[in-house]
Structures are given as structure tokens and as C-alpha cells.
Chain A
Amino acid sequence: MSNTSPPPTPAIQIQGLRKVFGDKVAVADLSLTVESGEVFGFLGPNGAGKTTAVKMLLGLIRPTAGTGRVLGEEIGDHRQRAHIGFLPEHFRFHDWLTASEFLRLHADLYQIPRDRSQKRIPELLELVSLTPHADKKLRQFSKGMLQRIGIAQALLNQPRLVILDEPTSGLDPVGRRLVRDIIRDLRGRGTTVFLNSHLLSEVEITCDRVAFIKHGEVLHVSSLQSLVEGELTVEARVRNLGPEALSGLSRWSQNVRADGEHLSLTLTSEADLPAVNRYLVEAGVEVYALRPGNISLEDLFIQIVGTDGGL
């Protein structure tokens, strides 16, 4: 399985994907494209439909409506799953198997020939730092260790697409670093990575693009690059800010908040900053401090998704 020249077709392409359980709409209308070789994050509150969406991609759940292609084939095609690695959020494994036996089982299910899996299994155990535990039964593993063996299982067949549902939720900082490094390494090989996560800081560090999902719909897709280069949050300390001056700021920003001496607003570009400064001064506002900062993913998340869905 060579990944040096990723195919030009998108790794994932879904259009109008919908899933209804009885009268409950889990996924309303999901459309997105994940390009080959990118690390794509799925962010959203609980119940947004992230896990259901991912299960539809893998053929675990049948869509009520909509179409999709994964690695160029219709979703649900079992043969494509040879090139996909998956770690569910609430993973459970046959815990009476040892780590090596577990990987051997899943290698057999991937139909990897025995001589190849003999070599691959120690490599993967080394990758996830579990070599000393190779002959221990999984029931003796901590949650963090299980998560790591689960990632190893997903990588057995050198997949073109790796789908991770909350990959770092059970891990300590060392474990999270390990996962981050693995994702970075996969990206370097041209593997597409699709991950669901609540940990905004992780998504910020690892992902190229992020989709915000709520109530089973994609609300917004951002490139994290543009988050760095684009929107600014400006914090200012001011006095004498009258209501007229305040309303005038709407010319540059839709997001203005004033609270005593504290003024904050988001600007679409750094270029607006001098103009805002000049405006405030000319309006008679006393400006004591003006601090631009990049909008964090968290701010963007709350802005787009709102605070009514809990994490």
C-alpha cells in the first residue's frame, strides 16, 4: 500500500446525507468534501450527529437519504474498508486476547497475509509504545493503553483514510502527544485523517480544516490557516465610550461587546485596526490599550455553534 502519490479524487465526498431514527433526526443534511491527504476535524456539541455521520461513512449505519463516496466508492462498499482504519469513540475489544493476538485477529480481518502481519505487528506496538505489553491480556490494560492499541489496530493495513472518533479523550498529555505525532506522521505520508473531537486545542494543533456541525448539519467549514491569518479579536481598554461611538463600530465589526472599560470586537482583517483606532480617537474616546489577538478556535466554535449545546 504505497501512499507516496495520493489519488486526486477526494477521500470523502458526501451530499445531503441524512439519518432519521424513528422520529428523531440524528443527521439532518450533511454535505462536505474531505480532500485526499488532509487532516479534517469535525467539531460540534454532543448530539450533533458526528458519530452517526462517521458510522454512515463506514457502513455501520444505513443513511435514510443522501449519497456519499469514500475513497472513490459508494459508502457501504465493504471492499474499500480494506483501506480505512477506524477507532470508535466507545471502543470495546475482546479483552481476553493479548495485545499481539488482538492485532493478529484484526490483521486477519484485514486479510493481511500472515508473513506480512508478523512484521507489521511489532512495528505498530513500537509506534504506540506498547511493546513491553505485547503478551498481556487487554483486560489488564488501562483506558489509555486500550486507546493506543485501538489506534494501532486502525493502522494495521497502512490505510489511505483513518477515521478517529475522539482519539485523545482518554489520554494523558504524553498519550495525546503520541497521537498528535502519529497524525502528523500519517499526514506526511499522504494519509487522509478524519477526526471527531471535543478537544478544541487538539483540533487547533493537528487539523488542516475544521467543520462545525450542529443538529446534523455542517454550519461552517474553516481552514485553520485562515483562522491564523484572518479574523482578529481586538481587546481594548477605553473610557468615555458613548452609545453613538459604540454603534459606529458596526461599520467594521458585527461582534462588538462593551463592558465598563473593556471593549472587545472582532475584525476580519488586521488592516482595519488603524481605522478603528482613528475612529475611536476622533469620537472622543480615550484609548488606554488596544490589543489585537487571533481569534481562537474556541471563540469561533462558540460563535458558530452557540452555547446552547453543552459539551
Chain B
Amino acid sequence: MRSGSSTLTIARLTFREASRRWVLWVALLLGLIFLTVYSLAFRELHSDIVRNTGNMPLIERNEIYNFLLMAGLYAVNFLTVMMAVLTSVDTLSGEIASGTIHTLVSKPLQRWEIVMGKWLGFAGMLALYLLLMAGGVMLMVYLISGYSAPNAWGGLALMALNAFLVLSISLAGGSTLSTLANGVLVFGLYGIAFIGGWIEQFGSLLNNQTAINIGIVCSLIFPSEALWRRAAHEMQSTLVGAIGFSPFSAGSIPSDLMIGYAILYTMGAIGLAIRLFHRRDL
């Protein structure tokens, strides 16, 4: 009897169950619609650029492509985070409320195996979705204009970490709160991160230290936006960063320390989920 196999059984069940839900298919459909619209728009812009700036050095043209690529990936990042929340928000709280959890927990497996199984199932699904969407955007840009971003894998890894961070908090919340309360918690944290990210951007543009500090505090509360900004930074050539400010470039770049913090934060959230579920009376 290997204890790891129960984790995988739960992971497979979670993956299968998540694949059946309408949320996933809506997210995929939205993603595909987005990809189509984006590709068409990009193709138009590309032909425009080639026509009007035929003499512009490639480097400068690439800055524009990079900008457009980041715009697309920003949307993908948002879609992936939404997917992470909407599919996982009720996985524990719903099963506890309905009683489906009882015949699982009364089997010869430990509570943490259920939590990790669910985490792995969702993480796998989210990684696949991200690969599909981000890969789709990058592929379309490359096919249309021949441009590809530097350090795409680094950027993707950080976007994946972002999704895993949100997933982990959703599991921690769901192990002890109702589905509704969990949803409020996760969206609330994401909202704080989102607003904080913009405050920090403006703060760095206007050289306002207070604003920057507020932004940093928000990132400490929930490092989601910090992860995106670092991902965007990784995938941009240095010139754009120097040129300055765009919605999709980082004015203030999250440090390695912040990324390390985000990793620890994610692990902490998983640990919290395990601990809370372990102690819970069902």
C-alpha cells in the first residue's frame, strides 16, 4: 500500500471533475474568442506597422510587438487567475457542505493527501490552460510578425506561479470557510493586489514614495500582481523598461526577494490548507 497513490487518485478525480464543469469550458471558449480577436487585431496592426514604418529599425519595431504581446499576455494572466478561483473555490467547501467528503475521508488515506490531490489536479489543469493560452498568443505573434519575446519560459513560469498562488489560497479558504466566504476572500485579496499594483506603478512614475510603499504593502498582503509585473519584465527587452511607462511594463520591478516571498507565501497557503483540513470536524 503506497500512500502516494491516494494523492494521485484524488488528483485524477479532481482533474476529471474540473474538466466536466461548465466553468472550464466557458473559460476555454472565452480564451479562444480572445485568441481569435487578438490575432485578427494583431494582424491588422502588424500590416499597418509594416506599411507605415518600413524604414524603422527592427529594434524599434520589436518594441511595439513586445508591447502588443504583453497586452495579450496580461489578458491571459487575468483569465488564468479567474479560472484558478472559479474552478477551485468550492472544491473543499462544497464537498464538505454536501457531505460528499464523508466517504472520501473515511477511506484509508490521510487528510493531507486529499488536499494535495486536489491541488495537483487543479495545478495540472491550470498549467495546461496557461500553456494553451499564453502559448497561443505567443505563437500567433510569431507567425504573424516573426517576433518572439526573450525569456518566454521565465515569464510563463512566473505566470504559472501566480495561478498556483491563487489556487493555494482558494484551497486554504475552502478548507474552513463556506464557498461564498472563500470566494469573497480570494477575490478580495486579488483586488487588493490589483489596486496596489497600479498604485505602485503610478508611484514610481510620479516618484511618490508613499504610493510606492502602499503598493509594496499590498504586494505583501497578496503577491499576485508583483508576480505578473516581474513576468512582464522578464519578457521585455531592456529598452522598453528604459523608455518608460506602459500599462504592461513594470515601472517598479519586483525584486528577487519579492519572488522568493511569493513562493514561500504559496507554500504557506498550502500548509495552512493542510493544517486546517486536518483539524476540521466533518
Contact = CB atoms under 8 A, between A and B. Distances in A.
B23 to A, nearest CB: 14
B5 A106 contact: no
Contacts of A92: 98-100, 102
Interface in B1-27: 1-2, 5-6, 9, 13, 17, 20
A58 B106 contact: yes
Contact of A82 (B99, B104, B108, B281): B108
A96 B20 contact: yes
Contacts of A110: 107-108
A96 B17 contact: yes
A200 interface: no
Contacts of B1: 79, 82, 111
Interface stretch (A39-47, A59-67, A205-213): A59-67
A150 B107 CA distance: 14
B106 A60 contact: yes
Interface stretch (A83-91, A259-267, A286-294): A83-91
A153 interface: yes
A142 B113 CA distance: 32
Contact of A88 (B9, B99, B109, B110): B99
B106 A81 contact: yes
Interface string B96-133: 00111011111111100000000000000000000000
Contacts of A272: none
Contacts of B242: none
A78 interface: yes
A109 B20 contact: no
A279 interface: no
Contact of A78 (B5, B99, B108, B279): B108
A242 to B, nearest CB: 59
Given A88-B102, A96-B17, A61 B282 contact: yes
A247 B281 CA distance: 53
A153 B103 contact: yes
Contacts of A153: 103
Interface string A233-250: 000000000000000000
B103 A106 contact: yes
Nearest to A150: B103
Contacts of B102: 60, 86, 88, 91-92
B107 A81 contact: yes
A111 B100 contact: no
Contacts of A62: 279, 281
A79 B282 CA distance: 19
B109 A78 contact: yes
A80 B108 CA distance: 7
A94 B20 CA distance: 12
B173 to A, nearest CB: 21
Interface centre among A91, A96, A109 (most CB of B within 10 A): A109
A109 B9 CA distance: 7
B99 A79 contact: no
Contacts of A90: 99
19 contacts: A55-B281, A59-B106, A61-B282, A62-B279, A62-B281, A81-B106, A82-B108, A90-B99, A91-B99, A91-B103, A94-B17, A105-B9, A105-B13, A109-B9, A109-B107, A110-B108, A111-B1, A111-B2, A111-B6
Interface of B: 1-2, 5-6, 9, 13, 17, 20, 98-100, 102-110, 279, 281-282
